[in-house]
Amino acid sequence: MRSLALSTMAAALMTSTSLAFDGVRQQVEGPADAAATDFRRVGNSETIGPDDRAAIIDTITDIAAGADRHQWDRVRGAFADNVTLDYTSLWGGAPATQSADEVVKQWSGPLTGFDRTLHLVTNHAIVKSAGATATAEADFQAVHRIGDKFWVLMGRYRYDLTKVNAAWKVSRLVMTYTHETGDRGLVTLAAKRADERG
């Protein structure tokens, strides 16, 4: 009886999904239609279309995957010419605004000192949009490895984006650290290894 109820509920969810955002309820006919629907998130002043949403997620992915693969042109292409980075929840200090070229130069040193990094970014949400600007949030898990030692950092990112020549670029990135495991000292070791390699 319970399995019948569960299968009936699953079938109902697959064939007709009801979405509610900003108090507006919209009926869509199945998962494919739901994915193609324009979503209005809480706090939005405008609806963002699926093409812009996909492009924003691609930009976010280019930063994380590009850094892991040492594809620095890919990382650079995801940033606006000037970008503010805020990692104060982890390292203290103050947010810093600098050129995207300088950000890539800073990241490309220490990250190459790890044997492997893997930045997994998920649960993307566009929380605000207005014309050529948008704000997105996502959760992350970042794994850093040297030999058999790991440092794993977890938390969430907040991205301010601007549309420049039809492409979404990150102009501000805020990392909020929630927890970590392993040895944070690997960051210092990675920087030292990168310096030694020249």
Six token digits for residue 194: 């990168």
Domains of the chain are 1-37 (no CATH), 45-197 (3.10.450.50)
Cα torsion angle, 52, 173, 139, 112, sign = positive
Q: Tell me, what's the pLDDT at 43? A: 52
Instruction: Compute the half-sphere exposure of residue 174: CA atoms within 13 Å on the CB side of its CA.
Output: 11
Instruction: Compute the half-sphere exposure of residue 25: CA atoms within 13 Å on the CB side of its CA.
Output: 3
Whole-model pTM: value is 0.77
Neighbours of 169 (CB within 10 A): 19
Residue 161: beta bridge partners?
A: 134, 170
- Only one residue has tokens 């209005």, namely 40
Backbone dihedral angles phi then psi of residue 168, each to the nearest 5 degrees: -80, 130
pLDDT digits (tens, 9 = 90+) for 75-113: 999 999 999 999 999 999 999 999 999 999 999 989 999
Residue 122: name the closest of 112, 108, 137 by CA. Answer: 137
Residue 136: name the closest of 48, 64, 5, 74 by CA. Answer: 48
* Residue pLDDT tens, the chain, 198 long: 434 333 333 333 333 333 333 333 333 344 444 443 444 444 545 688 999 999 999 999 999 999 999 999 999 999 999 999 999 999 999 999 999 999 999 999 899 999 999 999 999 999 999 999 999 999 999 999 999 999 999 999 999 999 999 999 999 999 999 999 999 999 999 999 999 987
**Inter-residue contact 15 to 29 (CB < 8 Å):** yes
